[in-house]
Every structure is written in structure tokens, then in C-alpha cells.
Structure 1
């Protein structure tokens, strides 16, 4: 089973716009400062890397990738024991998160819908998506 989907994180794009405006305003007010430029470039690069979340299922792996690939994660399909559609709480946030109760890793760029997978070793992961039914079904078919 092959599956591929890219979710856009519009909140992150809006944040990038705000950061750009703040950067231009700081240059206008204080003049060009190399430290400000470097700092804003780093912040811009980090936020830009979380503007989308790509999810791919191939013959062996569930793969996720944020933005241009600064952060990637792969799961071996044969290690997945459970798949279910879930709703994340608003306070779980966006990006890559570790949550302590219940202990799990969360990967999300937008919205509250996600698919939760549990591996054979008991580790729990949530992958945010705007099409949870399709992702969950593709995973269920792939792990049979």
C-alpha cells in the first residue's frame, strides 16, 4: 500500500510573515545589524522547517518529514501494533513534542486531528493530519 500526503501548517506561515515584518521593522528602526540579521535568519529557518508535514507509506516504512527535511522520522510498518484516529488537545501544540502523560511523541503542524500508532515496544506516537481516516486506513492495510 502506498500513501502520500502533505499537510500545510498555515499558522506557521502566518508566523513567518509576522517574523518578516518584525525583522524589517527592526532594520528600519535600528539600522542593519549583523547580529539581528543572523538571529532572525536562524529563527526564520527553524520556523520555516515546520510549515508542512509530509507523510508517506511505502512497502516497509511510515515516513514523516517536516518542511524541507530538517526533521525526519521513520517507523517500520511491521513494528506497528495499533492504529487509531484521535483528536489532540489544543495544548499539545505544534511541531515535534514529547508529552509526559500519557507518554508519547507528537508530530503536528496544524489542527487537532491525528492518527495514533503504538509500536511493539509500547511506544506511542501521534501523527497530525487533515485526513485521519485515509491515513489510518492506509496504515491498517499496510500492517496486515
Structure 2
């Protein structure tokens, strides 16, 4: 069961890695234009997407973090593995919570980003963060 959960978490984090890499290559999916894409996934008033290298850095970060559930399996007693897991979970949860703060909403107010952030992006980040903690707890319980 834990391996299945790790696989689902891998897929859930690897998918945004693929999408960010596509954006770095110039794809506008899921929008029709770069301007529409920037408004729906950045939301800070820009009309162009961030440079390709920034998209690739985010894609690499997601890719590295997506592999972590498999590193965690069977190694949960190692302090450094627990620490890294808490850091990963904390980053995702902080991003999820930040999306609901007034400061965030003032800075990222373009539509459709603002609505999608409230409905999808922030809850997804919270879910991913909680999932890393749940995987760690499940592994520790098995011992």
C-alpha cells in the first residue's frame, strides 16, 4: 500500500514537472496564447511567460522532489531523510497557505490565476505537502 501511495505521489509531483518543462520549450498548453498562459499560471500582471531557464529550474525542482517518495521508502529511520521530507512538505504547505493570504492576493490578482489559485493551485500544494507527511508517517508506523 505504501508503494502505491509513493507512486501516486510521484505522479502528482512529476506531472507539474512535465508541464513546466513544456512551458520552457515554448508550449502554451493549456491556453491558446502566451499572454493567456501568463495570466492563468503566473497572474502578476505580466503578459509573457517567465524565461525558459526559469521554467526549467522549476521543472527540475519538481522532478527531483517527485523521486523523493521512493528514496523515503524503507529509509524513514534516517534523520536526514526525515529532515528532507519535512522540508519538502513544508515548502508545499507554505505555498498552499500563502495562496490564501491578503499579500499574495494583492500581488497575484490577474484572472483567471486568482480564481484558479484559490480553487486548484493552493489546495493542490496543501494536498501534496500533507501527502509527503502521510507517507513519512506510514513508513514510520510500519517499523
TM-score past 0.5 threshold:
no
Higher alpha-carbon Rg: 1
User: Of the two structures, which has the highest relative contact order with CA contacts closer than 8 Å and spacing of 6 or more?
Assistant: 2
Of Structure 1 and Structure 2, which has the larger fraction of its residues in helix?
2
Query: TM-score scaled to structure 1, two decimals?
Result: 0.31
